[in-house]
Chains A and B, each alone.
Chain A
Amino acid sequence: MSEHREGSKKRKHYRASLSKEDNGLTLPKKKFFRQRAHANPFSDHALTYPSAPDHMDWSLYYPAYLSGSTQPSIVNGPNSDRAQGTPRTAESTKVTIADIGCGFGGLLFALSPQIPDSLVLGLEIRTSVTEYVQEKIKALRLQQADSKAYQNVACLRANTMKFLPNFFHKGQLEKIFLCFPDPHFKARKHKARIVSSTLNSEYAYVMKPGAWVYTITDVKDLHEWMVEHFEKHASFERVREEDLKADKCVELMIRETEEGKKVERNDGEKLVACFRRLEDPPWP
């Protein structure tokens, strides 16, 4: 993989020194974490993921919200904790917002103060980009230790196209952001797109009825593709224009994503579409 080749001495040295300088208060520099913008979602990456959502120890990611005691010793599947009546994961201390392909985390840092009662998770497939976001979260949390800011955001490396149900229970998420995803221009590569009729079923599975998927892109073709596939999917309906205007997250997504800023500098178009998760119909 490219990070090995491009992993210059300078970069390694920089990353090693990060936590030592200023007691970890300095924000990381993006230039030392850049990585090729594409990753193959079909290959077996050296990934770490829980075998089931109950195996995930979220206290490592949100220490201010969750204590380490949440790690379950025996796991009997998603319903076991409910069945045993243990109030292990209160509704308020579950991840409810996911930014899939969060990149350098612009949206995460903008969302954090806006929705302080929700746990926000960024998921990113590129190792060094994930590291950058993790370093930045660490530094921001230290800088603002008194106000406890940025304790509700975290980032981890994942291939969500394969392993989304390993991280989240059925109906857990209230918002999913898909911001400036890889357009995979070639028709042959369309199956690698983050939106497809089959993947949309997986998003629907982890989403609560009424939850929203937010999409934004500067590629018209991809925008149309995403609209077409979500509108065609029976678990989703498109959110109307006027409802978009009333939603503060839409504005944040347009202004605050790293890619969004880049598009602005380039005078590009920003195409937004949101979709609402519908209730499952009764069995036929």
Chain B
Amino acid sequence: MHHPFQCLATFGVTQPSSDEGGLFRRNILFAASGPQILTVNIKTGHIVSTWPLEDTKEPEDEQPGSKDEKGMNLAARPKIINLVAVNDGAHLIAVTGEDKCIRVFGVDAEGRLSELSERSMPKRPCAIGLTPDNRTIICGDKFGDVYAIPLQYEERIVTDSVSNITEEPKKTFVPSASEKTVHSARNRRALEDQRKQALVANAKEPLKFEHQLLLGHVSLLTDLLSVTTGSSNTGDFRHYILTSDRDEHIRVSRGPPQAHIIENYCLGHAEFVSKLLLVTPDVLISGGGDDHLIAWDWKAGRKLAQLDLRDLVVEAGLDGEVDIAVSGLWSIYDEPRQRYLVLVALEGVPTLLTFIMSVDNDIVTVSGRAVTSLPGNLICLIVMDKSIVVSSDSLKQDKETSHKERLSAYTLDSNFIVTGKSSRDLGEMWQIDPAIGATLSETNGHSSLEASRAQVNETVYSIRSLRKRGGYGEESQL
């Protein structure tokens, strides 16, 4: 099977687009399939570029095994786990899992990619954000640490960086303990052994590029938002970093250079938090392993509303016992009606869930909800104006289907919008968008990596594994 598209990205529709290039860039869709990134012009449907470059030597090479070899090479490459299009309209950031790498690409006016830099982080990056000026990448990792690294990477050896103090190479090994600090016979023996041991060189090299440790959780970091409020004109401009972790926390910190100041926590989840979404500048939505999403007044750490997912899953005709793990949150502002659509993906579930929400100061009201069946499990989606491009798997819950279209497009049913006033608007809110759908055929037909189910699962299904296991791992709350 072709590897499904696990990450989608576009340049934000809000970016200033006075120049023609800006307008054009709105039509660019980046889609990652396994280790490959395709750039697609959504208007023409053509694949503008692929990274890594496809093997052009192939026609010369007549050996029968050559095609397999190419597939193998691709299979050996690290898979893309995160894709972020920088709002400057000129850069794309891709994170690969196996090699813990952050790659930055330049994007030209046509949407073609050129690799600018490749930086290997100390731990696997789990979430990426950018500072308001789009010049610094904020990266949260599997060990809970959040680093700032410049978007533009100049190769030079940095000796004095904030976090380097923790990893100074030791010239000679001197045990930190002494006879006076160890208290048991066994420890004394261990100390003696340590002293006898030959010098062991510290294998870990400090990072060779500029980086700054901003903050850290003692937990697996799951998501990160870089948020600004106010404006510099009114003198109340503020930059915050919101981080979530596997231990139910959402932390609100100031942005650099004051990232050491924690302003608040949003506490109330009983299970891991996997996704954060800012609906308005004041309202945050979070989801994870709980049966509900939580809407927060994040600056005050105050819970505003709870959005039930389990009910919706049951109404979608799915098994009520399904393991709920939020794998994606997106929002669309429905300007004419001044309401927000919150789109939810649950891992391993072939249904798109939509909440219709209105926000009046700190009162969040859910005025409607909808479920939309998809041909396969929803992996991710991208909002393109009033339409969405949805990536789905050929797997439906855990059953393999013959479905081949990896990407499909949906548009808001205009009738639905008109009638959608009751509190229980269940039904087909999203209709197939034939126009965009047609332009996706070239992308759907692209011969991506041939991957086994096990390989796909490893890249695509990782959220449910955040749940703490029973037995000794079982944690209970008061």
- Chain A residues near B (Cβ < 8 Å): 1, 41-53, 55-57, 75-80, 161-163, 165-166, 170, 183, 185, 187, 190-191, 196-202, 204-205, 218-222, 228, 232-235, 262-263, 266-269, 280-281, 283-284
Interface size, B (range): 35 or more
B contact residues around A201 at 8 Å (CB): 215, 253, 260-262
Q: Contact: B260 with A222, CB < 8 Å?
A: no
Q: Contact: A50 with B477, CB < 8 Å?
A: yes
Beta-carbon nearest neighbor of B245 in chain A: A162
Nearest 6 A-B pairs (CB), nearest first? A198-B216, A221-B176, A52-B267, A268-B180, A44-B473, A77-B302
B contact residues around A191 at 8 Å (CB): 143
* Cα A201 to Cα B262 with chains together (Å): 7
CB distance from A6 to the nearest CB of B (A): 15
> Within 8 Å of chain A (Cβ to Cβ): is B425?
no
Given A198-B145, A280-B261, A283-B254, A44 contacting B177 (CB threshold 8 A):
no
Q: Contact: A77 with B268, CB < 8 Å?
A: yes
Given A41-B218, A199-B218, A220 contacting B264 (CB threshold 8 A):
no
From the candidates B253, B267, B301, name the one contacting A166 in the complex (CB within 8 A): B267
Q: Contact: B176 with A204, CB < 8 Å?
A: no
> Within 8 Å of chain A (Cβ to Cβ): is B317?
no
* Cα A42 to Cα B458 with chains together (Å): 23
* Cα A162 to Cα B217 with chains together (Å): 7
Q: Contact: B260 with A218, CB < 8 Å?
A: no
* Cα A200 to Cα B213 with chains together (Å): 13
Q: Contact: B176 with A185, CB < 8 Å?
A: yes
Q: Contact: A51 with B248, CB < 8 Å?
A: yes
* Cα A43 to Cα B167 with chains together (Å): 23
From the candidates B204, B258, B260, B472, name the one contacting A1 in the complex (CB within 8 A): B472
From the candidates B257, B261, B301, name the one contacting A235 in the complex (CB within 8 A): B261
Given A41-B218, A197-B213, A202 contacting B254 (CB threshold 8 A):
no
Q: Contact: A44 with B468, CB < 8 Å?
A: yes
A contact residues around B223 at 8 Å (CB): none
B contact residues around A222 at 8 Å (CB): 176
Q: Contact: A48 with B258, CB < 8 Å?
A: no
B contact residues around A80 at 8 Å (CB): 302
A contact residues around B215 at 8 Å (CB): 198, 201
Residues of B288-342 whose CB lies within 8 A of A: 297, 300-303
CB distance from B414 to the nearest CB of A (A): 38
Given A46-B472, A77-B266, A162-B218, A187 contacting B202 (CB threshold 8 A):
yes
CB distance from B168 to the nearest CB of A (A): 9
B contact residues around A49 at 8 Å (CB): 475, 477-478
* Cα A198 to Cα B176 with chains together (Å): 23
Bitwise interface map of B from 221 to 258 toward A, beta carbon under 8 Å scored 1, else 0: 00000000000000000100000000111010110011
Given A47-B475, A197-B213, A201-B262, A185 contacting B175 (CB threshold 8 A):
yes
> Within 8 Å of chain A (Cβ to Cβ): is B49?
no
CB distance from A226 to the nearest CB of B (A): 13
CB distance from A75 to the nearest CB of B (A): 8
Q: Contact: A204 with B261, CB < 8 Å?
A: yes
From the candidates A56, A76, A190, A283, name the one contacting B478 in the complex (CB within 8 A): A56
Beta-carbon nearest neighbor of B302 in chain A: A77
> Within 8 Å of chain A (Cβ to Cβ): is B183?
yes
CB distance from A124 to the nearest CB of B (A): 17
From the candidates B143, B176, B202, B473, name the one contacting A219 in the complex (CB within 8 A): B176
Bitwise interface map of B from 100 to 143 toward A, beta carbon under 8 Å scored 1, else 0: 00000000000000000000000000000000000000000001
Q: Contact: B165 with A228, CB < 8 Å?
A: yes
Given A44-B469, A44-B475, A45-B475, A51 contacting B267 (CB threshold 8 A):
yes
Given A79-B302, A191-B143, A202-B262, A165 contacting B247 (CB threshold 8 A):
no
CB distance from B219 to the nearest CB of A (A): 6
CB distance from A163 to the nearest CB of B (A): 7
A contact residues around B303 at 8 Å (CB): 75-77
Known contacts A185-B175, A187-B167; 19 further A-B pairs (Cβ under 8 A): A44-B473, A46-B473, A47-B475, A50-B477, A51-B270, A52-B267, A77-B266, A170-B262, A187-B202, A197-B213, A198-B215, A198-B216, A199-B216, A201-B261, A202-B262, A218-B180, A219-B177, A232-B165, A269-B180
